[in-house]
Amino acid sequence: NDNKIVIVITHSPDRVVDFFDDVIVLAKDKTRTGRLAFYGSIDEARNFFNKESMEEIVKTVNLEEEGGDGEADKYIEMYSRMVQNG
């Protein structure tokens, strides 16, 4: 099963995380536009967001009115700077 791309959209990522090598975290910014908040391995994602689980990451970036912490803009900006700086 090498060299395959599978796209899964889930709000319960910890149930399927072991099936994947890399993750993309998309989040709504303050204008409610979907933006890239992270791309990399599962371990890199946990380190980047300083969270133990993928579900905690989802909660962190989800909007407050959607039950999240509303921190998407912070991580979108952090990831953008990280990519620009190489």
Q: 42-86: per-residue pLDDT in tens? A: 999 999 999 999 999 999 999 999 999 999 999 999 999 999 998
List of residues 6+ apart from 52 with CB closer than 8 A: 46
Q: How confident is the model at residue 1 (pLDDT cuts 50, 70, 90)?
A: low
| DSSP summary character for residue 21 | S
* SS3 category, 67: coil
Do 10 and 24 form a contact (C-beta atoms < 8 A)?
Answer: no
pLDDT digits (tens, 9 = 90+) for 26-47: 999 999 999 999 999 999 999 9
Do 61 and 53 form a contact (C-beta atoms < 8 A)?
Answer: no
Length of the chain: 86
Give helix 72-84 / helix 42-49 axis angle, nearest 10°: 120
